[in-house]
Amino acid sequence: MDYGDYFLPLADQKQQKQLFEQLLDRCFDFYSGKERDNKFLIYKSADELKDLVQEDLPEEGLPLENLLDVLSKRVGRYSIAQFDPEYLAFPDSGNSIPAMWADIYTKFLNQNMIAFSRSAPIATFIEIQLIEWLRQLIGYEYKSLDQVQSLSEVSGMITTGGHMSNHIAIMSALNHAFPEIKTKGLSSLGFQPAVILSGAISHYSFSSAMHHLGIGQDGLLIADSTSDYTTNLASVEELLKNPPEGKKPFMVVGVAGNSRTTSIDDLGALAKLCRKYGIWFHTDACHGGVLLFSSKYRKMLAGIEESDSVSLDPHKGLFSPYPLSFVMFKQRDTLTQFTRYEKEVRNGGSWDLGYITPFYGSRGFESLKLWLSIKALGLKGLEKAIDDRQTLAYQTSDLITKSGYFAVFNEMSFYRMVFVYYPAKIKDLVSQQHAITPEQKEAVKELIDHYTHLINEELYTSGELCLDEFKLHDLGNFSGLDTKDRFVVMSLTIGNPKQHIEVIEQALQKLFKLCEHYSKEMQDKVEDVLFGNAKHEVKTTNLYGPAGWQ
């Protein structure tokens, strides 16, 4: 083939269409399960995957037809299918047809959202329109698009994920509180700016941001958490009243659906505290923000409208393919502080979004995914999908709780629950021992970690059922072991609108079967700990998923 045949448009329109039809056939082979043996994953170890990819830099290219085999038989075959019915980990199903259409279409459009003229004319206003729709849902003051007269009024931006959205929220609050750092830098302050949050439930992005932004990680002031994995209000106020010497708080973080249990803080109470002390209030709603689309469940987010900033992740709970995240600001001109061209931004002389988007210059037209999804389903359609997911989440919670195999660490208030393998009969056996020593409790805890990981690992590597795995403190002492150490936990998420209770029941039977298989073995080892002298040293490794990142 001539090198020109690798670039669109092709002279032969029929051939051009056939090539993309063949690609779509391979895409749907992946979606149907045909290309992955009807498993959510054909598991390979890290070394095996490296062997599949390893090759010298190619001197000669491949015909387009051969590349289809490379895509499907090498890339697709060993990729994870997060939309699969047996995938019950992070809720990133990404299977919204309108969002997928938009994702494909934007690749053909190839708009660059850095600028309006010669880069992204109509895309610019679609993005601004979407930001106004999100303002309306949050409860901020909002405008119709024709009322937005300048870039300074654009009060949000699209990012690649909650990690970056939270970075930009911290940077915005920091510059709002201490505008002198724009020219003089952080060293001019004479103290360390500080962020208050609950360390047990907050996302790792906040610790990363303190490092990346040059504030310093010990500028995080850690508030206590409650037994239901929410932020302890009294602890926050104590830090606001009496921060450590040399530190000055400028932001408090509330969590609307933490990444482990999706528990939701009392946002209204946190907002009231922040107003009392004159502190910026940020709500991390990367999970819980989807409830804004539900008139029934948005009450769980009461007070979010009082936030100075909010981070949202449609690629988590609104079925959009990666990446798509937002950071939103109550005060309209918040992003103007980052521009070099304040006059043009304020007087309507420019619509170049790149002037007000920190960290980002060139970026794609990702906002079309959510815009088109809202156009397709409307608020009523999205509300129905979210409400149905809530119903399914509660039904799934009942199945886990009633199975008798687990100690459950949180009530399924949203779409995620956490549990460890600790069969009721074994837990009862341990709780009946009145003279159990701390060493024995620790040994039992190690066995719980071991079997929780063992069962989850077998399910994952088989490709038959995917649950998350990470470490978490048992804040409510649901295990009864009174330990301050973190447990290895399983986590289940309901995130696919194509799932229904029969599918969930069928998937969980695979989990319950393994739980029953290991029940006698675990009980024998626990009895050895309680009544014998056996010493069991068990270690767990290979924790999966970003929820386990620290």
Q: What is the pLDDT of residues 464-476, one digit of tens each?
A: 999 999 999 999 9
How does residue 540 score in pLDDT terms, banded at 50, 70 and 90? low
More confident residue, 91 or 121: 121
How does residue 550 score in pLDDT terms, banded at 50, 70 and 90? low
Residue 543 reports pLDDT greater than 60: no
Domain ranges of the chain: 13-81, 104-376, 383-548
Three-state secondary structure call for residue 117: coil
Residue 249 φ/ψ, nearest 5 degrees: -65, 140
Q: State the sign of the Cα–Cα–Cα–Cα dihedral 313, 314, 316, 317.
A: positive
More confident residue, 323 or 4: 323
What CATH homologous superfamily does 383-548 map to? Aspartate Aminotransferase, domain 1 (3.90.1150.10)
Q: Span 466-490, mean pLDDT?
A: 95
Identify the CATH class of 104-376. Answer: alpha beta
Q: Which residues contact 395 (CB under 8 A, 6 or more apart)?
A: 501, 504
Check residue 222 and give its pLDDT: 96
- Written as six digits, the tokens of 87 are 């995938």
Check residue 200 and give its pLDDT: 85
Output the average pLDDT for the chain.
Answer: 94
Residue 549 reports pLDDT greater than 90: no
More confident residue, 502 or 542: 502
Sheet holding 468-473, edge to edge: 406-408, 416-421, 486-493, 468-473
Check residue 413 and give its pLDDT: 85
Tens-digit pLDDT profile for residues 67-97: 999 999 999 999 999 999 999 998 779 999 9
Q: Please check whether the two domains, 104-376 and 383-548, share a CATH topology.
A: no
Check residue 113 and give its pLDDT: 97
Check residue 434 and give its pLDDT: 83
How does residue 335 score in pLDDT terms, banded at 50, 70 and 90? very high
Least confident of 136-140, 257-261, 288-292, 540-544: 540-544
Q: Which residues contact 170 (CB under 8 A, 6 or more apart)?
A: 195, 206, 209, 210, 213, 215, 251, 282
Length of the chain: 550
Burial grade of 82 (CB within 10 A; 0-12, 13-18, 19 or more):
buried
CA distances (Å), origin 15, targets 20, 21, 65: 9, 10, 11
| Burial annotation 301-314 (CB, 10 A radius, 16+ → b, else e) | bebbbbbbbbbbbb
Q: Which residues contact 505 (CB under 8 A, 6 or more apart)?
A: 399
Residue 244 reports pLDDT greater than 60: yes
Residue 535 reports pLDDT greater than 60: no
Residue 213 reports pLDDT greater than 90: yes
Is there a cis peptide before residue 9, judged by omega within 30 degrees of 0? yes
User: What percentage of the chain exceeds 90 in pLDDT?
Assistant: 90
Burial grade of 37 (CB within 10 A; 0-12, 13-18, 19 or more):
exposed
How does residue 58 score in pLDDT terms, banded at 50, 70 and 90? very high
- What are the percentages of helix, strand and coil residues in the chain, rounded to 5? 50, 10, 35
Q: Which residues contact 390 (CB under 8 A, 6 or more apart)?
A: 294, 296, 297, 414, 415
Instruction: Count CA atoms closer than 13 A to 355's CA, side-chain side.
Output: 24
How does residue 495 score in pLDDT terms, banded at 50, 70 and 90? confident
Residue 177: in which H helix or E strand, if any? helix 162-177
Cβ atoms of 253 and 195 closer than 8 Å: yes
Concatenating the DSSP letter of every residue in 212-223 gives HTTS-GGGEEEE
Residue 537 reports pLDDT greater than 60: no
Q: Which residues contact 436 (CB under 8 A, 6 or more apart)?
A: 430, 530
Three-state secondary structure call for residue 491: strand
